[in-house]
Amino acid sequence: MPKIEVNEAVFYALADPEGQGRRWEDREAFKEALTCAKAELDEDSDKSLPPPERTLKIELNDTNRPDLWATAGCARQLRVHGGGRRPEYPFFSSPGNPQKTGRKVLVEKTVQGVRPYLAGFIAGGKAVTDASLRDMIQTQEKLAWNFGRKRRTISMGLYRVAAIKWPIVYKAVDPDSVSFVPLQWDLPLTLREILKYHPKGREYGFIQEHEPLHPLLVDSENAVLSYPPIINSADLGAVQVGDTDIFIELTGTDQPSVTLAASIMACDLADQGFAIEPVEAEYGYDTPFGRSVVFPYYFQEPVFCSLARVEKFLGERLGADDCVAALERMGVRAKAAVSAEKNEALEQTKEGVFAWPPEYRNDFLHAADVAEDVMIGRTLGSFKPERPRDFTVGRLAPISYFSRRVKEILIGMGYQEMIYNYLGSRKDLVEKMRGAGERIIRVANPMTENYEYVRDSVLASLMQSESVSARSAYPHRIFETGKVAFLDSAENSGTATRNYLGFLHAGSDAAFSSVAGQLQTLFYYLSGEYEAEESADPRFIPGRAAAALFKGKQVGVFGELHPELLENWGVTMPCAAAELDLDALLGGPGAI
């Protein structure tokens, strides 16, 4: 989970509803106050330091609220929840209502297929201090690393307005055709040389290195601001303490995410006393928000939640005024209303509330999100405890009994059970497994690319273990029974979740005949029989792979793993493996 380090004095001043910089000397009260932001005090300040130098380390537990991953954002939540006024940000544009601005960024069509979206604004009116600069950089990194997937979908740059000649141009260029002096460097480098020699280029080069054109941000006199998302220039992109006007720019691959990140940064700086000046992005192509967008830009839609749903979610009947008051404590603008909803083909008018997400939030996807904010706004302590009224006795599902039986058989055959995560990277789940990835499910807002996809096979997990087990004595025999999920148009949800068995035999004696014999043994003890027919599964060697058929239906695949797959994982010993759909064995026609 994200962790932030905040200046204690600055945080207290921003979090105090009365603006007096109240200090929470009672640490338990402070910890309780943090719960409204789903936050915990990870490390207290060092009391031996003078107050201006004390810092707090706070851990945020909500991955859907990137606005909390900064000093001002977390403090804002505490301030408003504690009775402070919900902040207003009049500098935001909205559909059909753009703010006036004299600053413009021209987005050329060349970046459309490279890194197509840009947002930006200017923060001024006061000098940048050491504390505020540190916090800007921290927010920049948290948004780009966590919310922006290591800068792949969002990156941010800070620039000195005084040295920029407007308008700014955002374009794509040949990486060998442009050179400039990057930050923390003394000599000019081409874009390709930056990826090869500069520390940031080596760290983030994976984003651009295989593209024929690379993004570049220059002013009207062709002076380079930055090479997004890699590094700023050493002159226009070197913000220093004492600067009074800063241009904040964000680029990325998803326009709502880029726009939201810009909104978060603008609201944070406004809360710290900076004056926000809008900037227009003029696109040379169509975007979801149009060809001309003035940032910061409010694009969120209101969400309706009926009082009946609030009662269903929270277990207590609340009036519309109570819900509105609770939402206001969360910084959410709300009003009591009625809405016509279709329920069993009937139009019904329902009493409830409309909630407008704040400019810095975009996590209202369903009425349940509104109800959750009502709960946090009221505080959990305001709900009366209630004893359970139903008595139930739990029992294992049939598939759990069947999985246990399969595990006992595999252990008796000399296999060792493994347990894995269900999420992984595309590199591990698709590319290393020689797959095309047509049916794999991608997580929409992953914390990191290492957990971006839901596994559609157990074999990739087994190969992860085998890839780090070369020092253990052979043969290796490992297995797992666990869930997989994949895209399936036949399901109402468009996805299917299944219970799979996968087992792997690595050693000099691993061959098609050995895994076929082990599969035969498994079916014998399950009181069943399987048939085999040739399979073209790319994970296995052609001619040494077969589909397992049970009662005429394919329930799995087995064979010798392909040498290219073994090389991808760094495995030097032959491997034979099998994978079975346990749900099909248990619940299909003529099931075991």
CATH of domain 303-376: 3.30.56
Instruction: Say yes or no to pLDDT of 590 above 80.
Output: no
Which whole number is the average pLDDT over 123-151? Answer: 88
- At 497, is the pLDDT very low, low, confident or very high (cuts 50, 70, 90)? very high
Buried b / exposed e along 533-554 (16+ C-beta atoms within 10 A): eebebebbbeebbbbbebbeee
Which whole number is the average pLDDT over 473-479? Answer: 96
The CATH number fitting domain 3-81, selected from 3.40.50.740, 3.50.50.60, 3.30.56.10, 3.40.1190.20: 3.30.56.10
Residue given tokens 């979801």 in the structure block: 288
The CATH number fitting domain 398-587, selected from 1.20.1250.20, 3.20.20.70, 3.40.50.720, 3.30.930.10: 3.30.930.10
Which whole number is the average pLDDT over 245-268? Answer: 96
Whole-prediction pTM? 0.72
Instruction: Say yes or no to pLDDT of 345 above 70.
Output: no
The β-bridge relationship of strands 453-454 and 423-424 is antiparallel
Q: What is the DSSP code (8-state) at residue 528?
A: -
What are the boundaries of each domain within the chain?
3-81, 104-295, 303-376, 398-587
Instruction: Say yes or no to pLDDT of 405 above 70.
Output: yes
**Which range among 258-267, 326-335, 374-383 shows the weakest confidence by mean pLDDT?**
374-383
pLDDT on residue 348: 53
Instruction: Say yes or no to pLDDT of 269 above 80.
Output: yes
The Cβ of residue 286 has, within 10 Å, a number of other Cβ atoms equal to: 9
Instruction: Say yes or no to pLDDT of 90 above 90.
Output: yes
Coil, strand or helix at 437: coil
pLDDT on residue 26: 79
What digits encode the pLDDT tens for the residues 193-225?
999 999 999 999 999 888 999 999 999 999 999
List the one residue out of 420, 418, 522, 519 whose CA is nearest residue 478: 418
Compute the distance between CA of residue 207 and CA of residue 218 in angstroms, rounded to an integer. Answer: 20
Which whole number is the average pLDDT over 157-165? Answer: 94
CA atoms within 13 A on the CB side of 407: 14
Coil, strand or helix at 259: helix
Instruction: Say yes or no to pLDDT of 9 above 90.
Output: no
Compute the distance between CA of residue 100 and CA of residue 401 in angstroms, rounded to an integer. Answer: 67
Instruction: Say yes or no to pLDDT of 406 above 90.
Output: yes
Instruction: Say yes or no to pLDDT of 4 above 50.
Output: yes
Percent of the chain surpassing pLDDT 70: 96
Cβ 145 vs Cβ 138: under 8 Å? no
- Of residues 387 and 69, more confidence is placed in 69
- At 19, is the pLDDT very low, low, confident or very high (cuts 50, 70, 90)? low
Provide the β-strand partners of residue 252. 117, 154
Instruction: Say yes or no to pLDDT of 23 above 80.
Output: no
**Sign of the dihedral through C-alpha 446, 452, 457, 463:** negative
Q: What angle do CA 349, 351, 354 make, to 5 degrees?
A: 110
- At 344, is the pLDDT very low, low, confident or very high (cuts 50, 70, 90)? very low
Instruction: Say yes or no to pLDDT of 135 above 70.
Output: yes
Which whole number is the average pLDDT over 50-79? Answer: 89
Compute the distance between CA of residue 358 and CA of residue 344 in angstroms, rounded to an integer. Answer: 33
Mean pLDDT score of the chain, rounded to an integer?
91
- At 142, is the pLDDT very low, low, confident or very high (cuts 50, 70, 90)? confident
Compute the distance between CA of residue 441 and CA of residue 443 in angstroms, rounded to an integer. Answer: 7
**Which range among 112-121, 332-341, 449-458 shows the weakest confidence by mean pLDDT?**
332-341
Distances (CA, A) of 293 to 107, 198, 288: 11, 34, 10
Compute the distance between CA of residue 65 and CA of residue 376 in angstroms, rounded to an integer. Answer: 14
Instruction: Say yes or no to pLDDT of 373 above 70.
Output: yes
Instruction: Say yes or no to pLDDT of 162 above 60.
Output: yes
3-state SS record for 3-37 = EEEEEHHHHHHHHCCCCCCCCCCCHHHHHHHHHHH
Which whole number is the average pLDDT over 520-532? Answer: 92
Instruction: Say yes or no to pLDDT of 346 above 50.
Output: no
Strand ranges for 384-434 from DSSP E: 416-417, 423-424
Residue 486 burial (10 A CB sphere; 0-12, 13-18, 19+): middle
Token pair of 308 as six digits: 């009946």
Percent of the chain surpassing pLDDT 90: 73
Provide the β-strand partners of residue 485. 497
Distances (CA, A) of 291 to 105, 283, 494, 523: 12, 5, 33, 62
Strand ranges for 44-173 from DSSP E: 55-60, 104-107, 117-124, 154-160, 168-173
Check residue 30 and give left, alpha or beta (phi > 0: left; psi -120 to 50: alpha). Answer: alpha
Q: Fold for domain 104-295? A: Phenylalanyl-tRNA Synthetase; Chain B, domain 3 (3.50.40)
Residue given tokens 């707090």 in the structure block: 56
List the one residue out of 356, 131, 381, 105 whose CA is nearest residue 248: 105
Cβ 103 vs Cβ 123: under 8 Å? no
Instruction: Say yes or no to pLDDT of 503 above 70.
Output: yes
Compute the distance between CA of residue 223 and CA of residue 237 in angstroms, rounded to an integer. Answer: 11
Compute the distance between CA of residue 70 and CA of residue 269 in angstroms, rounded to an integer. Answer: 11
What digits encode the pLDDT tens for the residues 43-62?
888 888 887 788 899 998 87
How many whole angstroms from its chain centre is CA 415?
36
Q: What angle do CA 460, 461, 462 make, to 5 degrees?
A: 90
Q: What phi and psi, each to the nearest 5 degrees, are found at residue 127?
A: -80, 145
What digits encode the pLDDT tens for the residues 272-311?
999 999 999 999 999 999 999 999 999 999 999 999 999 9
Domains 3-81 and 303-376 share a fold: yes
pLDDT on residue 20: 63
Instruction: Say yes or no to pLDDT of 181 above 60.
Output: yes
Name the helix (H) or strand (E) containing 513.
Answer: helix 512-525
